[in-house]
A and B are shown apart, each in its own frame.
Chain A
């Protein structure tokens, strides 16, 4: 029970971190040393220590996105040693702890890199494109009020569990950053699959998938070529089977379009 020992051994790690003042400024790597770090520091708490030092020296602290620090808001977003969120399975960066590193380690730190995610500053990227995907059709169209009683439409437990597996996505964008094509298909696939499994989402399923795929292209996301890197880095373990479901739903929409029972947006 390591947490119960009151004295913690400390370590130092060398950070080779990406610094970039703004979207149109050139970026570069800069080296900083984090000292006095214990195994119980989270990765972001280690960055806090470095930033306190930088501020005291009158230098700009490293800008990084974070908020809930409990692995659920999806705000934290940095690539550690080439892996979004740092490579511990099912873990966001804020939940990665320094016990996973060793004294003297050199750690490379970069922002999400994808065409659809321009860099705002240092480790902060603009993930607004993911919101655009949801705004395109990532919802069930129901007005507030005037809906039936919640138990009037039973949903089988396996369907509901499947929808929940998909709905676990926190929209952090690690899947995009890990994909060699900068694709958002795991993100979009999760949303499409969640609603495709539920009776509430059925009616507008073809419109949803067609609009989301069109918007993905407009936002500059690439396509899936089955590398599965997205699943490997996903902090919520969202499964690539949802990309297959996305493709299947898209083909269903195309068939419907051919049969004349559905007209995709913009055509």
Chain B
């Protein structure tokens, strides 16, 4: 099937404005008749719920955390992009659009990226109005800094806690609507199924994580804002609760999964220290503004303390290989470059899996206090985890799974192929292509929630009679029975291995076979091995406790069960995409200098997969990508 992304036609500069005008509206007095279910309350979810509530819709918002303020968006450190051109350094909406399309290695839809770039400016205005304390200069105006993949300074930030401050802004907006009664919040509630009636998404089945009650919530539209799935690698920078569950359940009910193999490995993480480790910690990419990345030139120097390696024996490989972008080369390129150095035996730290991020020169130039002011909290965090002082000895970093560019397939209106099912933020596949540029995730989450969904959802609702599906619908009853059934099944297995053992085994397999580098052999091997782990899971997992109670093991078991199915889809997608692009690096396709080799003739499309059954091959649908404004070109940061 050839999919239609419903991109507006005509000049790109007018595409969003024209589309906004062309879409139908819902009369203000009719909005209150509609109920919208928003799942997830991070940047995308909280901003969507708040904006829809402000408009007058009835909103029910759900999150697995105890409060919307704890969504994983809170952990983003570095910043949020916008094309304000406040520094007068040549930025424009067109340049942000260009950088994002190029950064994503030409695998995203032009119109979506244009819209993102256009509304980015409104986001900054909105957040400032909410009282988000962005960094300012002494004249009182907003300050900016640079991020990877851009040569302008367009990243707005709030110390090293930008995600936190933006989320708290959206959280305050949703809190205001909760008080006003337009948003009803259900914390500690996890979506475990999507209910589809007559082909349309009309309800969700949830588990109350405190009482264990399983119940259905009906609405007129469902908005999934449930974040990314990088915990499929077990160790990632995601919070422990991040899962694929909500979008996977929607996928199993018919929603297509777009580009699942496009995963981002972040170059600036604290290296793994041992097998017990539960997660990896990200150090903001902004550190690369002042930190220089290097490894020893000679293998025999790798064990020496850094200060005993003279200047001429240090290889500042990013500056050497990418002179125009240097340490600010995009994430996929920097990650691969680090791996390459370590694979060649020049890595530092335990197991040789690390490269130096060195602030010596910046400290010499600006003094320790300036560096402390810019990144103090990151240095503290680094010291707590590694017991090393980054001001005195260079930090050690290594790439780690970080962000999912893939997600449910959506059209320009952010609606999936299932009418009534909208997908926002990291949970959809839309704007980042095969690689996401730094400071773009926060931008997308808030763009989708504040400035896209409030318009596009009306276009769906105008043709929908409110309250079509009630809780007594047979599909709702069936969904509750299904969820109760799988919960019971998990609790009854009483095997010998814990949930953690399974997810660790799966994660290791995924990292080794579908991580920073993939090959036909490694992917074929993973596709062969995953069903066996899945089978063993359903025979031998041990989940203690009961269903009708607070049971964290049961929560983890359900999420792991979904990862065990989803992992196979990522690998199948990675295997079929016989090219290298962005975060998807197939070792078979590289230039002589190791750069990724794209194949536009055969693969300039979105891969959207249709679920056909757990043990059956999924069906591939394609949405061809057209590049009318930015010419397809080899991506170079040299």
Q: Which residue on chain A has the smallest CB distance to residue B171? A: A134
- Which residues of chain B are near A59, meaning CB under 8 Å? 544
Task: Map CB proximity to A onto B450-463 as digits: 1 under 8 Å, 0 otherwise.
Answer: 11001000000000
User: Are A168 and B161 in contact, with the CB atoms below 8 A?
Assistant: yes
User: Are A170 and B276 in contact, with the CB atoms below 8 A?
Assistant: no
User: Are A127 and B66 in contact, with the CB atoms below 8 A?
Assistant: yes
- Which residues of chain B are near A61, meaning CB under 8 Å? 544, 552-553
Stretch from A42-50, A102-110, A175-183, A217-225 forming part of the interface with B = A42-50
User: Are B134 and A160 in contact, with the CB atoms below 8 A?
Assistant: yes
Q: Which of B150-170 touch A at CB < 8 Å?
A: 158-159, 161, 164-165, 168
Which of A4, A67, A130, A168 is most buried by chain B, counting CB atoms within 10 A of its CB? Answer: A67
User: Are A67 and B131 in contact, with the CB atoms below 8 A?
Assistant: no
Task: Map CB proximity to A onto B246-285 as digits: 1 under 8 Å, 0 otherwise.
Answer: 0000000000000000000000000001101111011000
Choose one: A49, A95, A128, A140; the contact of B131 (CB below 8 Å).
Answer: A140
**Does A16 lie at the interface of the complex (its beta carbon under 8 Å from any beta carbon of B)?**
no
User: Are B131 and A124 in contact, with the CB atoms below 8 A?
Assistant: no
A151 to B545, CA, bound (A): 55
B636 to chain A, nearest CB (A): 33
- Which residues of chain A are near B168, meaning CB under 8 Å? 167
- Which residues of chain B are near A6, meaning CB under 8 Å? 350-351
- Which residues of chain B are near A157, meaning CB under 8 Å? 136-138, 140
User: Are B67 and A128 in contact, with the CB atoms below 8 A?
Assistant: yes
A148 to B158, CA, bound (A): 20
- Which residues of chain B are near A161, meaning CB under 8 Å? 133
Number of interface residues of B (CB under 8 A): 89
**Does B99 lie at the interface of the complex (its beta carbon under 8 Å from any beta carbon of A)?**
no
Question: Given A135-B178, A150-B84, is A171 in contact with B350 using a C-beta cutoff of 8 Å?
Answer: no
**Does A63 lie at the interface of the complex (its beta carbon under 8 Å from any beta carbon of B)?**
yes
Stretch from B70-78, B321-329, B415-423 forming part of the interface with A = B70-78
**Does B616 lie at the interface of the complex (its beta carbon under 8 Å from any beta carbon of A)?**
no
A74 to B274, CA, bound (A): 25
A68 to B282, CA, bound (A): 11
**Does A26 lie at the interface of the complex (its beta carbon under 8 Å from any beta carbon of B)?**
no
**Does A56 lie at the interface of the complex (its beta carbon under 8 Å from any beta carbon of B)?**
yes
User: Are B351 and A131 in contact, with the CB atoms below 8 A?
Assistant: no
User: Are A69 and B279 in contact, with the CB atoms below 8 A?
Assistant: yes
User: Are A200 and B140 in contact, with the CB atoms below 8 A?
Assistant: no
**Does A75 lie at the interface of the complex (its beta carbon under 8 Å from any beta carbon of B)?**
yes
- Which residues of chain B are near A121, meaning CB under 8 Å? 549-550
Choose one: A2, A39, A52, A144; the contact of B173 (CB below 8 Å).
Answer: A144
- Which residues of chain A are near B305, meaning CB under 8 Å? 1
User: Are A75 and B131 in contact, with the CB atoms below 8 A?
Assistant: no
A49 to B553, CA, bound (A): 14
B502 to chain A, nearest CB (A): 12
B226 to chain A, nearest CB (A): 14
B386 to chain A, nearest CB (A): 5
User: Are B349 and A3 in contact, with the CB atoms below 8 A?
Assistant: yes
User: Are B500 and A48 in contact, with the CB atoms below 8 A?
Assistant: yes
Which are the 8 A-B pairs with shortest beta-carbon distances? A154-B140, A139-B172, A147-B129, A164-B133, A150-B128, A163-B133, A67-B239, A68-B239
- Can you give 21 A-B contacts (C-beta < 8 A)? A1-B393, A3-B273, A40-B276, A42-B385, A45-B278, A49-B276, A58-B542, A70-B279, A70-B281, A73-B72, A131-B69, A134-B171, A139-B176, A140-B131, A144-B450, A145-B450, A154-B140, A164-B165, A167-B165, A198-B131, A200-B131
Given contacts A68-B72, A164-B135, A164-B165, 4 further A-B contacts (CB under 8 A): A55-B498, A73-B70, A139-B173, A167-B133
